[in-house]
Amino acid sequence: MSDIIEKLQQIVGPAQVLSAKQVAQRATHFWNPSPMVARALVKPATVDQISDVLRTCFEHGQSVVTHGGVTGLADGEKSTSDDIVLSLERLNQIESVDAVNRTMTVQAGCVLQSIHEAANDCNLLYGVDLGARGSCTIGGNISTNAGGLSVLRYGMTRDQILGLEVVLADGTVITALNSLIKNNTGYDLKQLFIGSEGTLGVVTRAVLKLRPATPTRNTAIVAFNTFEQVTETLALVSRELNANLNAFEIIWNDFYRLSTNPDITGTSRAPLTRDYSAYAIIESRGASVESDKQQFQQTLEELLEKDLIADAVIAQSETEQKDIWQIRENVDLSLRHSPLFVYDISLPVNHMEAYVDEIRTNTKKHWPDAVVHAYGHLADCNLHISIAPKPENFIRDTQQQPIRIQAFNEEESKWYETVNRIVFEPLASIGGSISAEHGIGLLKKKYLHYCVSDEEIAAMRLLKKSLDPKGILNPGKILDME
């Protein structure tokens, strides 16, 4: 047994170090069942143990890949047979909730859903929610600056973080568990570690900002004839629903048709006919049953009167709300092609229509029957796009044939390169981003230059070299060090 593995066993106990063989019993990823690869996987139980593990790895020049819920979508958590995986699965406690100051202190391995539940118990809420809530951890959310469903109202994960504890590459523990909204005392170090995908330090604990609960909920789905109506509608509802506006999700016609297709979904009905060019789900949340409802209805009436929307359905019950949201949440339907290339991009709202048309046209030049689905958080400038070059390869039964957004063969990999260029290239000139909320990881590293300048990359390298001089933390992710 190698020297370093023995030392790691002394730190965390032999049972908490999995060998390469044991690691292979885990799946690589939520979307990829192939065996996980690593030199070993270490499961510390305390921040002190994490500090000792990192100090040991630093001394040995041993690379470390930190794992949370392993639900990322940019291969940021991918490990090789040379890496030690540092899993934070045993640091999963909510340490305290302060209902008066509206803060919560959590360990990094805490699952997002348990944070929502603990906030809810105090009649408060945590501002970031996303599909992987049952598996993803707050440490992973912080390291990728996760976005999700409520960014429009509450911002990204960065906007929820008041304090952070981080262990640096050499084992130094920086405990900066600030719980104050306002604290201007020197450089705000936590900002460096939020969104840096585990390449600058290991997040171990965090103080989260909580918000007052929003018990009332008004939901509608509306239809548009033109994209111009979409942007004007967003402006009007932002003004009229104001701070209560909680969601404005756009769905292009193709995805609406798919998501309301009874042949595929079995149960879904279409609240609005399938002929409009686009649809949006609009939701307001607040605390005053009567006045919120009144405000919502008046706003919808104004949209109809001004011909900004072609039609609308307001949900009259919780079931109807769920049905409307189901149309947006049938995301897995758009993933049922093989192979499938998925994107999470961001661009100014006024460029969206032309952009989606452009990538549709360019994709069809290569694959005339290609399926291009677009939907997303319009008010956040964020679109999710999925492109299937071969629509005939539709997966009817995901139990038999799993969804495949990774592990492409040689030919498919070439297609992927082509589609990447189709999707990413136009973003450079319109101030778009190749990654809105999923991060860069390994997958998008070579396209980073489309939206980040040479000077920015040089500054990022400088920071990486300063904080992780031996390059042991999640090496090769986001940037190469040359």
Window 424-453: residues binding a second copy (CB under 8 A): 431-440, 444, 448, 451-453
Contacts of 388 (CB under 8 A, 6+ apart): 337, 338, 339, 340, 341, 370, 371
DSSP string, 215-276: -EEEEEEEEESSHHHHHHHHHHHHHHTGGGEEEEEEEEHHHHHHHT-HHHHSS---SS-TTS
In angstroms, give the least distance from the CB of 98 to a second copy.
Answer: 7
Q: Which of 238, 268, 393, 406 binds a second copy (CB under 8 A)?
A: 238
Please identify, using beta-carbon distances, which residue of 98 and 117 lies nearer to a second copy.
98
How many angstroms separate the CA atoms of 50 and 86, rounded? 8
User: What is the sign of the dihedral through the CA atoms of 185, 478, 90 and 126?
Assistant: positive
Touching a second copy, residues 352-391 (CB under 8 A): 377, 380-382
Please identify, using beta-carbon distances, which residue of 85 and 436 lies nearer to a second copy.
436
Q: Which of 159, 318, 332, 357 binds a second copy (CB under 8 A)?
A: 159
Q: Which of 20, 403, 405, 457 binds a second copy (CB under 8 A)?
A: 457
How many angstroms separate the CA atoms of 396 and 417, rounded? 27
Tokens representing 36 are: 């996980």
Q: Which amino acid, 132?
A: A
Touching a second copy, residues 307-346 (CB under 8 A): 346
How many angstroms separate the CA atoms of 188 and 203, rounded? 15
Q: Which of these ranges, 81-89, 233-241, 311-319, 384-392, lies near a second copy under the rule CB under 8 A?
A: 233-241
Q: Which of 83, 292, 323, 468 binds a second copy (CB under 8 A)?
A: 292
Q: Which of 28, 56, 66, 144 binds a second copy (CB under 8 A)?
A: 144
In angstroms, give the least distance from the CB of 4 to a second copy.
Answer: 25
Please identify, using beta-carbon distances, which residue of 117 and 228 lies nearer to a second copy.
228
Please identify, using beta-carbon distances, which residue of 3 and 290 lies nearer to a second copy.
290
In angstroms, give the least distance from the CB of 286 to a second copy.
Answer: 5
Q: How many residues bind a second copy (CB under 8 A)?
A: 99
Q: Which of 23, 221, 241, 374 binds a second copy (CB under 8 A)?
A: 241
| Residue 22, phi-psi category: left (phi > 0), alpha (psi -120 to 50), beta (remainder) | alpha
Contacts of 123 (CB under 8 A, 6+ apart): 99, 212, 213
Among 450, 441, 452, 453, smallest CA distance to 480 is for: 441
How many angstroms separate the CA atoms of 316 and 219, rounded? 9
What is the enclosing helix (H) or strand (E) of 87?
strand 84-87
In angstroms, give the least distance from the CB of 442 to a second copy.
Answer: 13
How many angstroms separate the CA atoms of 482 and 471, rounded? 11
How many angstroms separate the CA atoms of 343 and 423, rounded? 8
Q: Which of these ranges, 218-226, 259-267, 292-300, 310-318, lies near a second copy under the rule CB under 8 A?
A: 292-300
Tokens representing 17 are: 């170090």
R_g (Cα) of the chain, nearest Å:
23
Touching a second copy, residues 101-130 (CB under 8 A): 101-102, 123
Touching a second copy, residues 18-57 (CB under 8 A): none
In angstroms, give the least distance from the CB of 6 to a second copy.
Answer: 28
Q: How far apart are the first and last CA of the chain?
A: 32
Please identify, using beta-carbon distances, which residue of 327 and 347 lies nearer to a second copy.
347
Please identify, using beta-carbon distances, which residue of 141 and 386 lies nearer to a second copy.
141
Q: Which of 34, 294, 361, 401 binds a second copy (CB under 8 A)?
A: 294
Q: Which of 17, 168, 206, 423 binds a second copy (CB under 8 A)?
A: 168
How many angstroms separate the CA atoms of 53 and 297, rounded? 57
Task: Decide if residue 158 touches a second copy (CB under 8 A).
Answer: yes
Please identify, using beta-carbon distances, which residue of 16 and 231 lies nearer to a second copy.
231
Q: Which of 13, 61, 131, 348 binds a second copy (CB under 8 A)?
A: 348
Please identify, using beta-carbon distances, which residue of 246 and 338 lies nearer to a second copy.
246
Tokens representing 276 are: 């409009």
Please identify, using beta-carbon distances, which residue of 19 and 298 lies nearer to a second copy.
298
Q: Which of 286, 339, 389, 475 binds a second copy (CB under 8 A)?
A: 286
Touching a second copy, residues 169-228 (CB under 8 A): 172-189, 191-192, 194-196, 200, 212-214
- CA angle 303-305-307, nearest 5°? 70
How many angstroms separate the CA atoms of 239 and 102, rounded? 28
Q: Residue for token digits 């789900």?
A: 281
Beta bridge partners of 167: 173, 202
In angstroms, give the least distance from the CB of 293 to a second copy.
Answer: 9
Q: Which of these ranges, 134-142, 150-158, 247-255, 323-331, lies near a second copy under the rule CB under 8 A?
A: 150-158
Among 263, 105, 274, 92, smallest CA distance to 178 is for: 105
Q: Which of 63, 66, 145, 334 binds a second copy (CB under 8 A)?
A: 145
